[in-house]
């Protein structure tokens, strides 16, 4: 149960999409096991927002777009370092759809990200150049939301970058690690957990 004033509190559910679940193109271990718990949280919050990773075919974060590159290698883009991924969450495909059991009907906003071919977006607030806003910060501020609770996929990428940006923008932030699952490459889970802790993110 959320401990904060319901009226100024939002639950942001990150990327509960088929491609991040077992059988998907960028499957996160246990990705589907958190859906029931997330549905319970959705019931308890007055305000629910979903994010949806939403890439055009041939997206620059796909290893297949870069000749001779393999998934999980790093490349340098104009905006800095970028991990390459298997093709995933391509706009309009089954893989980009929400998991069939996710209770998404209550959501007031679905924020899509990663739809610009030349730039990836882990965070729900800013694309990976850390400059291009998605509009979510303005949406929350305009609606008087002060506290955000985040859960979903993946803990060490989209959940973590969203949490860090939310904290940097002055929102109170809680992450639900038990209702999130990690990709965990090259120690990314530990790195991002400590970055979140240092940024004042609360865990519940
Ligand atoms: C994600 C890698 C690529 C995520 C999205 O949702 O964490 N990770 N695209
Ligand atoms: Zn993606």
Determine contact, residues 90/96, Cβ cutoff 8 Å.
yes
Phi/psi at 57 (5° precision): -55, 145
State the distance from the centre of ligand 2 to the C-alpha of 84, rounded, in angstroms: 9
Question: pLDDT at position 98, please?
Answer: 98
State the distance from the centre of ligand 1 to the C-alpha of 138, rounded, in angstroms: 23
**Probe residue for ligand 1, chosen from 12, 88, 164 as the CB with the greatest number of ligand atoms within 8 Å:** 88
Determine contact, residues 125/145, Cβ cutoff 8 Å.
no
Q: Answer whether 161 contacts ligand 1 (Cβ < 6 A).
A: no
Question: pLDDT at position 5, please?
Answer: 82
According to DSSP, the residues that pair with 132 across neighbouring strands are none
Average pLDDT of the residues in 111-138:
98
Report the distance separating Cα 21 and Cα 165, nearest Å: 25
**Probe residue for ligand 1, chosen from 116, 153, 154, 160 as the CB with the greatest number of ligand atoms within 8 Å:** 154
Q: Answer whether 111 contacts ligand 1 (Cβ < 6 A).
A: no
State the distance from the centre of ligand 1 to the C-alpha of 95, rounded, in angstroms: 13
HEC sequence for the chain: CCCCCHHHEEEEEECCEHHHCCCCCCCCCCHHHHHHHHHHHHHHCCEEEEEEECECCCCCCEHHHCCCCCCCCEEEECCEEEECECCCCECCCHHHCECCCCCCCCCCEEEEECCCCCCCCCCCCECCCCCCECCHHHHHHHCCCCEEEEEEECHHHHHHHHHHHHHHCCCEEEEEEEEEECCCCCCHHHHHHHHHHHCCCEEC
Q: Count the neighbouring beta carbons within 10 Å of the beta carbon of residue 188.
A: 17
Residue nearest to atom 2 of ligand 1 (CA): 157
The 10s digit of each residue's pLDDT in 12-41 is 999 999 999 999 999 999 999 999 999 999
Question: pLDDT at position 3, please?
Answer: 52
Q: Answer whether 53 contacts ligand 1 (Cβ < 6 A).
A: yes
Q: Answer whether 157 contacts ligand 1 (Cβ < 6 A).
A: yes
Q: Answer whether 182 contacts ligand 1 (Cβ < 6 A).
A: no
* Residue found by looking up tokens 């970055």 in the block: 195
**Domains of the chain listed by start with CATH number:** 10-56+92-185+193-199 (3.40.50.850)
- Quickly state the pLDDT bin for 107 (edges 50, 70, 90): very high
- Of 144, 157, 152, nearest to 185 (Cα)? 157
The 10s digit of each residue's pLDDT in 159-196 is 999 999 999 999 999 999 999 999 999 999 999 999 99
Report the distance separating Cα 15 and Cα 96, nearest Å: 9
Question: pLDDT at position 158, please?
Answer: 98
pTM comes to 0.97
Assess whether pLDDT exceeds 80 at residue 2: no
The 10s digit of each residue's pLDDT in 53-103 is 999 999 999 999 999 999 999 999 999 999 999 999 999 999 999 999 999
């Amino acid at each position: 149960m959320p401990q904060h004033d319901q009226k100024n509190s939002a639950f942001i559910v990150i990327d509960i999409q088929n491609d991040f679940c077992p059988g998907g193109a960028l499957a996160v271990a246990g990705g589907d096991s958190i859906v029931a718990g997330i549905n319970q949280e959705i019931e308890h919050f007055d305000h629910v927002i979903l994010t949806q990773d939403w890439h055009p075919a041939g997206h620059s974060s796909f290893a297949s777009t870069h000749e001779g590159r393999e998934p999980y290698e790093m490349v340098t883009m104009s905006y800095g370092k970028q991990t390459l991924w298997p093709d995933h969450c391509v706009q309009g495909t089954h893989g980009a759809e929400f998991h069939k059991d996710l209770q998404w009907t209550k959501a007031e906003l679905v924020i899509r990200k990663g739809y610009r071919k030349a730039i990836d977006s882990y965070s729900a607030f800013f694309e990976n150049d850390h400059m291009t806003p998605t509009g979510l910060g303005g949406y929350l501020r305009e609606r008087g939301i002060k506290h955000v609770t985040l859960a979903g996929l993946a803990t060490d990428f989209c959940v973590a970058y969203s949490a860090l940006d939310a904290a940097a923008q002055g929102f109170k932030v809680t992450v639900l690690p038990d209702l999130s699952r990690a990709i965990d490459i090259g120690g990314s889970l530990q790195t991002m957990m400590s970055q979140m802790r240092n940024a004042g993110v609360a865990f519940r």
